[in-house]
């Protein structure tokens, strides 16, 4: 009976050690809320160009992420939106996030489609159709939590956005 008790205590100690190690190795919770904006210019033939505004919201909680791109004319008329959803994880270095987009919702509200929206639609459709996911990276180029701002780069596309950090 004494040996059985010792074995039981040893087995419980090993199980508790394994559980504690597995909990300690899990990635920390990711929480990110950004409101970003950018001015877009579509260069046309003959030197003419069209200007648009784009707002991008990034909402990440745990490993889920939603990126919502909204496009507007210069007079504030909504042109359309692309909403991407998937999973996110922070790179070990901490300055970038790897995103795997698994679903998309797109709306075109006007006849005009900004080139950025067209490119985002095309490349995400291509990857979602052929690979079932669209890879993205958000790299934090500069952040100031006291001033509540961040400058980020989004891949693919190499676009740079000024963002407001939300609590």
Which residues, 6+ apart, have CB-to-CB distance to 27 below 8 Å? 89, 90
pLDDT at 20 over 90: no
Tell whether 97 is covered by a domain: yes
What is the CATH classification number for the domain harbouring 98?
Answer: 2.40.128
Residue 89 domain flag: yes
Distance from the first to the final alpha carbon of the chain: 58
Q: What is the mean pLDDT of residues 28-49?
A: 81
Express each pLDDT in 3-16 by its tens digit: 666 666 566 666 56
Q: Select, from the ranges 60-64, 83-87, 114-118, 140-144, the one with the highest average predicted confidence (pLDDT).
A: 83-87
Cα three-residue angle 26-166-92, rounded to 5 degrees: 30
pLDDT at residue 60 tops 90: yes
pLDDT digits (tens, 9 = 90+) for 92-125: 777 899 999 999 999 999 998 999 999 999 999 9
Whether 126 maps to a domain, the answer reads yes
Residue 102, domain member (yes or no): yes
More confident call, 137 vs 2: 137
Question: Sign (positive/negative) of CA torsion 91, 94, 95, 97?
Answer: positive
Q: How many domains does the chain have?
A: 1
Structural domain range at position 101: 31-165
Q: Is residue 10 part of a domain?
A: no
Is 149 a member of any domain?
yes
In percent, how much of the chain has pLDDT > 70? 80
Please state the rounded mean pLDDT for residues 56-67: 94
- Whether residue 160 lies inside any domain: the answer is yes
Q: Record the pTM.
A: 0.79
Residue 1 in any domain: the answer is no
């Amino acid at each position: 009976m004494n040996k059985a008790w010792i074995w039981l205590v040893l087995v419980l100690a090993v199980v508790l050690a394994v559980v504690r190690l597995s909990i300690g190795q899990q990635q920390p919770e990711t929480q990110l809320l950004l409101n970003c904006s950018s001015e877009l210019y579509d260069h046309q033939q003959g030197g003419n160009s069209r200007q648009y505004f784009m707002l991008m919201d990034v909402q990440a909680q745990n490993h889920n992420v939603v990126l919502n791109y909204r496009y507007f004319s210069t007079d504030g008329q909504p042109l359309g939106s692309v909403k991407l959803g998937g999973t996110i994880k922070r790179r070990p270095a901490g300055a970038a996030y790897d995103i795997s987009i698994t679903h998309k919702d797109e709306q075109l509200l006007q006849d005009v489609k900004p080139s950025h929206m067209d490119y985002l639609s095309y490349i995400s459709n291509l990857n979602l159709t052929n690979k079932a996911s669209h890879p993205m990276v958000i790299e934090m180029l500069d952040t100031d939590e006291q001033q509540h701002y961040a400058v980020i780069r989004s891949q693919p596309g190499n676009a740079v956005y000024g963002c407001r950090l939300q609590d």
